[in-house]
Amino acid sequence: MIKIVYVGFGIVSQGLAEIILDVNAVLPISKGTEIQTVGILDTMKGCKIDANGINMQEILNNAHKGDYSLLSERIVDITKAIEEIKADIIIEASFTDIKTGQPAIAHMEAALNSGKHVVTTNKGPFAVAYQQIFNLAKKNNKTLAIEGTVMSGTPIINVLNTGLVGAKITELSGIMNGTSNYILTQMELGMSYEKALLQAQELGYAEANPKNDVEGLDTLAKVLILANVVFNTPLAHEDIAVQGISKITLSEIKEASSKGMRWKLIGRVWKDSQHKVHGTVGPIMVPTSDSLYGISGASNALKITSDILGDTTIIGAGAGKTETGFALYNDIISIMNT
Ligand SMILES: NC(=O)c1ccc[n+]([C@@H]2O[C@H](COP(=O)([O-])OP(=O)(O)OC[C@H]3O[C@@H](n4cnc5c(N)ncnc54)[C@H](OP(=O)(O)O)[C@@H]3O)[C@@H](O)[C@H]2O)c1
């Protein structure tokens, strides 16, 4: 049995909780595969700790009705609670701050220093302190798993870390923000930027404050993470020129289309011939021959260029409750299997 604690119990954590309930129902407990929730720590929705296991079916049934009254314990110091709770894995799925990485960095440090593995979808900490947190995990001999930080449940980090081992990767470029891609796709159909953004918000792709999506900051965080994963190089925000899509006009979209091209918000990271690592985020016109040309709507795609395979493009979901919950689930299972 593996004991987990949710830090942040929003969309993604609930997605994971649903997957676990489905799977625990079919996996034989005798095989030691049961995942038991012993804590939920959320500043907004409330907290609950139970060393004997929380009834997650009940919590989710209520959550679906917007009722979090069962999370009735008031815990002010979440970081201290992470330290003190007896558990195997902390699921960090709280608020993302791309500039400071907090409070998630403190949550992860508390978990690792108190002997717990960390599984997370929160990109903030890894955009600013990737090496620091991974070094801490190593020092404590604990696993830090971050598959869901780039393209949610679509396997990217694990592919880069294992599937492409031995290939010399020279460049990564991709569409890593579904909101921007959705807006650009709708603009190709003639919709104004404002209306497309509104639609993206209504469909739940964009956040209420969509600045991180449309101004390229969300893509920047992913570029910073990929620079670490692939090139072991911590770039700083200031090292990377960032431009979003908010200034692209309908006439520019039409002009690209008349040339057989499409505007895409592309995050890029590459190593030059002097082995220096660079990153950029900005709108680029891509031709039909590019594997990123056909990526439409809220889909994401990452093109990985390596010496042996040439271009390998991975296409899939970049967000979503179940999709991102699955990234966490996948990382938990990997920990259980080691
Ligand atoms: N949704 C996706 O598709 C997706 C995809 C990839 C990655 N992610 C990342 O995954 C994480 C979770 O996303 P989500 O969509 O589940 O967000 P969410 O629905 O906003 O849930 C996050 C929850 O954590 C709470 N929280 C905020 N600060 C906290 C703290 N200091 N301690 C404990 N709880 C705290 C939030 O409360 P408040 O409401 O008060 O802030 C909220 O209830 C984020 O870092 C996000 O960037 C999400």
Looking at the structure of the chain, the number of domains it has is 2
Q: Which residues pair with 90 in a beta bridge?
A: 5, 118
Tell me how far apart the terminal alpha carbons of the chain are, to the nearest angstrom: 14
Q: Write out pLDDT tens, residues 218-271.
A: 999 999 999 999 999 999 999 999 999 999 999 999 999 999 999 999 999 999
Q: Using CA positions, which residue lies closest to atom 31 of ligand 1?
A: 103
Predicted local distance difference test score (pLDDT) of residue 29: 47
Q: Binding residue per annotation — 207?
A: yes
Predicted local distance difference test score (pLDDT) of residue 205: 85
Asked if the structure places residue 158 within a domain, the reply is no
Predicted local distance difference test score (pLDDT) of residue 23: 79
95 and 188 inside one domain: no
- Phi, psi torsion values for 330, nearest 5 degrees: -60, -45
Predicted local distance difference test score (pLDDT) of residue 159: 95
Predicted local distance difference test score (pLDDT) of residue 204: 83
Q: Write out pLDDT tens, residues 49-81.
A: 999 999 999 999 999 999 999 999 999 999 999
310 and 327 inside one domain: no
CATH code of the domain containing 137: 3.40.50.720
12 and 149 inside one domain: yes
Total H helices, total E strands in the chain: 12, 12
Residues of the chain with pLDDT > 70, as a percent, come to: 97
276 is catalytic: no
Q: Write out pLDDT tens, residues 87-132.
A: 999 999 999 999 999 999 999 999 999 999 999 999 999 999 999 9
In Å, how far from its chain's centre is CA 316?
13
174 and 148 inside one domain: no
Asked if the structure places residue 161 within a domain, the reply is no
Tokens, residue 155: 């396997």
64 and 86 inside one domain: yes
Range of the domain at 285: 166-317
Q: Write out pLDDT tens, residues 165-213.
A: 899 999 999 999 999 999 999 999 999 999 999 999 988 887 777 999 9
222 and 300 inside one domain: yes
Task: Give 27's pLDDT tier (boundaries 50, 70, 90).
Answer: low
Q: Which residues pair with 5 in a beta bridge?
A: 39, 90
Distance (Å) from CA 9 to ligand 1 centroid: 7
DSSP-derived 3-state class of residue 213: helix
199 and 235 inside one domain: yes
Asked if the structure places residue 331 within a domain, the reply is yes
DSSP-derived 3-state class of residue 338: coil
295 and 214 inside one domain: yes
Least Cα distance to 93 among 144, 149, 170 occurs for: 149
Cβ atoms of 137 and 161 closer than 8 Å: no
Distance (Å) from CA 268 to ligand 1 centroid: 26
Q: Binding residue per annotation — 323?
A: no
The three state secondary structure string of 57-100 is HHHHHHHHCCCCCCCEECCCCHHHHHHHCCCCEEEECCCCCCCC
Asked if the structure places residue 257 within a domain, the reply is yes
Q: How far apart are CA 329 and CA 322, in angstroms?
A: 10
Q: Which of 121, 150, 220 to mutate to test the pocket of ligand 1 (most atoms within 8 A of CB)?
A: 121
Asked if the structure places residue 130 within a domain, the reply is yes
The answer to whether residue 149 scores a pLDDT higher than 70 is yes
CATH code of the domain containing 291: 3.30.360.10
Predicted local distance difference test score (pLDDT) of residue 203: 87
18 and 149 inside one domain: yes
Asked if the structure places residue 159 within a domain, the reply is no
Task: Give 25's pLDDT tier (boundaries 50, 70, 90).
Answer: low
Asked if the structure places residue 160 within a domain, the reply is no
Q: How far apart are CA 123 and CA 204, in angstroms?
A: 19
CB of residue 94 inside a 6 A radius of ligand 1: yes
Predicted local distance difference test score (pLDDT) of residue 60: 98
Cβ atoms of 174 and 181 closer than 8 Å: no
Tokens, residue 171: 């460049």
89 and 178 inside one domain: no
Predicted local distance difference test score (pLDDT) of residue 337: 86
327 and 261 inside one domain: no
Task: Fill in the DSSP letter of residue 140.
Answer: T
Asked if the structure places residue 24 within a domain, the reply is yes
Predicted local distance difference test score (pLDDT) of residue 207: 72
35 and 120 inside one domain: yes
CB of residue 44 inside a 6 A radius of ligand 1: yes
Catalytic residue among 116, 222, 303, 321: 222
Distance (Å) from CA 277 to ligand 1 centroid: 31
Q: How far apart are CA 37 and CA 16, in angstroms?
A: 11
Q: How far apart are CA 265 and CA 250, in angstroms?
A: 15
Predicted local distance difference test score (pLDDT) of residue 223: 98
The answer to whether residue 285 scores a pLDDT higher than 50 is yes
Task: Give 24's pLDDT tier (boundaries 50, 70, 90).
Answer: low
Mean pLDDT of the chain: 94
CB of residue 102 inside a 6 A radius of ligand 1: no
Least Cα distance to 221 among 92, 94, 96, 91 occurs for: 96
